C-alpha cells in the first residue's frame, strides 16, 4: 500500500475547462473521502481524492494548476501512473436528509459520498459551486442517482448568483437538513460551518503533502493534527479548534500563505 503500484490509465475524460477525470484499476477497498498519492514519473507525487469508486475501477478528478497536474492532464489511455493508498479517514455518513456542498473541484471527492448515500436511500441535496458555468461538472451524474442538484456560480452565468455557502445558508434556514458534508475553498467551508450551528458537519481539508503517512509533518495544522492521517475529513467541533482553518495554509517550505 505504501509503495506506488504502477497502473495503466483506462480513460482520461474532460469534465469542464481545465478539469479532467482519469480512470484506473487499483486493488482493495476505498472509502468516499479517502485519497491516493499519484506518482507521475519524473515530475512529482501528489495527493488526489478518489472521485469514483466501483468494485474494480477508481478515478481521480483534478484541475490543472501546476507542474504535476499539467503533466497528469496531458496523459491519456494506456499511459502509466503510480498509485499508493488509499489514505485518510473518509466521510462518516449519518442522518437522513443530507446536504453536500462542493466548491470548485471539491465536488469531485464528494460525488462518491453522494453515491453511497443514494445506495442507503438517503435524501441528498447537492450544491455545486463554481466561479463560472464552464467550470461546473458532475451535475448529470448526481441527478441520475436521484440527488436534488443545485448550482451556484460567482458570476451568475448558471443557477444561483453567489457563493455556494450563501445558497447553502438559505437551504439550512428551512431546517430540513440533518448533516452537512463539504469540500472546497476553506473560506467558503468556514462560512458554511458558521451557518450550521448544531447541525453535524464534516469538511475535507487540503494541505501541501509529502509522505501521506503521518511521518514528515508537512501537512500539520493547528491542534496537532496531520491532514494525511487524522483527516482529511474533520468534524465541526475539531475544525473550530484548528486556528489555520479558513485562515492560512503552508507552502512546501512551511511558509504561511493566507487564503
Ligand X SMILES: Cc1cc2nc3c(=O)[nH]c(=O)nc-3n(C[C@H](O)[C@H](O)[C@H](O)COP(=O)(O)OP(=O)(O)OC[C@H]3O[C@@H](n4cnc5c(N)ncnc54)[C@H](O)[C@@H]3O)c2cc1C
Q: How many CA atoms does the CB half-sphere of 99 hold within 13 Å?
A: 27
- Would you give the binding string for ligand X spanning residues 21-60, x where CB under 6 A is met? --------------x--------x-xxxx----------x
Determine which residue in the list 22, 30, 93, 108 makes contact with ligand X, applying CB under 6 A: 108
Strands (E), the chain: 5-16, 19-25, 35-40, 44-53, 57-63, 80-87, 97-103, 123-130, 148-153, 160-161, 179-183, 201-204, 220-221, 225-226, 233-235, 248-250, 256-258
By CB under 6 A, residue 254 contacts ligand X: no
* Residue list 187-216, contact with ligand X (CB under 6 A): 206-209
Helix, strand, coil percent content, the chain, rounded in steps of 5: 25, 35, 40
User: Nearest approach, Cβ of 87 to ligand X (angstroms)?
Assistant: 8
* Residue list 59-88, contact with ligand X (CB under 6 A): 60-63, 65-69
Residue 86 preceded by cis peptide, ω within 30: yes
- Residue 231 CB partners (closer than 8 Å, separation 6+): 88, 89, 204, 205, 225
User: Nearest approach, Cβ of 221 to ligand X (angstroms)?
Assistant: 11
User: Nearest approach, Cβ of 9 to ligand X (angstroms)?
Assistant: 16
Nearer to ligand X, 62 or 177 (CB): 62
User: Nearest approach, Cβ of 8 to ligand X (angstroms)?
Assistant: 20
Nearer to ligand X, 20 or 172 (CB): 20
Q: Choose the stretch contacting ligand X; rule: CB under 6 A; options: 5-13, 93-101, 105-113, 125-133.
A: 105-113
By CB under 6 A, residue 111 contacts ligand X: no
User: Nearest approach, Cβ of 121 to ligand X (angstroms)?
Assistant: 27
* String of DSSP letters for 192-204: HHHHHTTS-EEEE
User: Nearest approach, Cβ of 97 to ligand X (angstroms)?
Assistant: 26
Nearer to ligand X, 26 or 208 (CB): 208
Cα gap 28→164, rounded to integer Å: 34
By CB under 6 A, residue 245 contacts ligand X: no
**Phi/psi-derived region of residue 90, left when phi > 0, alpha when psi is between -120 and 50, beta in every other case:** left
| C-alpha cell of residue 147 | 440527488
User: Nearest approach, Cβ of 86 to ligand X (angstroms)?
Assistant: 10
Query: How many chain residues are in contact with ligand X, going by CB under 6 A?
Result: 23
Nearer to ligand X, 15 or 153 (CB): 15
Residue reference for cell 505504501: 2
Question: How many Cβ atoms from other residues are within 10 Å of residue 15's Cβ?
Answer: 20
Nearer to ligand X, 22 or 122 (CB): 22
Q: Is 210 exposed, middle or buried (CB count within 10 Å of its CB: 0-12, 13-18, 19+)?
A: middle
Residues in touch with ligand X (CB under 6 A)? 35, 44, 46-49, 60-63, 65-69, 105, 108-109, 206-209, 232
Amino acid at each position: 500500500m505504501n509503495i506506488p503500484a504502477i497502473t495503466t490509465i483506462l480513460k482520461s475524460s474532460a469534465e469542464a475547462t481545465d478539469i479532467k477525470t482519469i480512470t484506473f484499476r487499483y486493488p482493495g477497498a476505498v472509502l468516499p473521502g479517502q485519497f491516493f498519492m499519484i506518482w507521475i514519473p519524473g515530475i512529482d507525487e501528489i495527493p488526489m481524492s478518489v472521485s469514483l469508486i466501483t468494485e474494480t475501477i477508481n478515478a481521480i478528478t483534478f484541475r490543472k494548476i501546476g507542474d504535476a497536474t499539467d503533466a497528469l492532464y496531458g496523459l491519456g489511455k494506456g499511459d502509466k501512473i503510480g498509485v499508493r493508498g488509499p489514505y485518510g479517514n473518509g466521510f462518516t455518513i449519518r442522518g437522513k436528509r443530507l446536504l453536500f456542498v462542493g466548491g470548485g473541484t471539491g465536488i469531485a471527492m464528494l460525488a462518491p459520498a453522494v453515491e453511497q448515500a443514494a445506495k442507503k436511500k438517503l435524501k441528498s441535496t447537492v450544491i455545486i459551486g463554481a466561479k463560472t458555468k464552464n467550470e461546473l461538472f458532475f451535475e448529470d451524474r448526481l441527478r441520475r442517482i436521484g440527488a436534488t442538484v443545485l448550482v451556484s456560480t460567482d458570476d451568475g452565468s448558471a443557477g444561483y448568483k453567489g457563493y455556494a455557502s450563501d445558497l447553502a445558508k438559505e437551504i439550512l434556514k428551512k431546517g430540513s437538513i440533518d448533516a452537512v458534508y463539504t469540500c472546497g475553498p476553506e473560506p467558503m467551508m468556514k462560512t458554511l460551518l458558521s451557518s450550521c450551528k448544531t447541525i453535524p458537519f464534516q469538511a475535507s481539508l487540503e494541505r501541501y503533502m509529502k509522505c501521506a503517512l503521518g511521518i514528515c509533518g508537512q501537512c500539520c495544522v493547528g491542534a496537532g493534527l496531520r491532514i494525511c492521517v487524522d483527516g482529511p475529513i474533520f468534524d465541526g467541533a475539531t475544525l473550530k479548534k484548528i486556528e489555520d482553518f479558513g485562515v492560512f495554509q503552508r507552502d512546501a517550505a512551511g511558509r504561511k500563505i493566507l487564503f
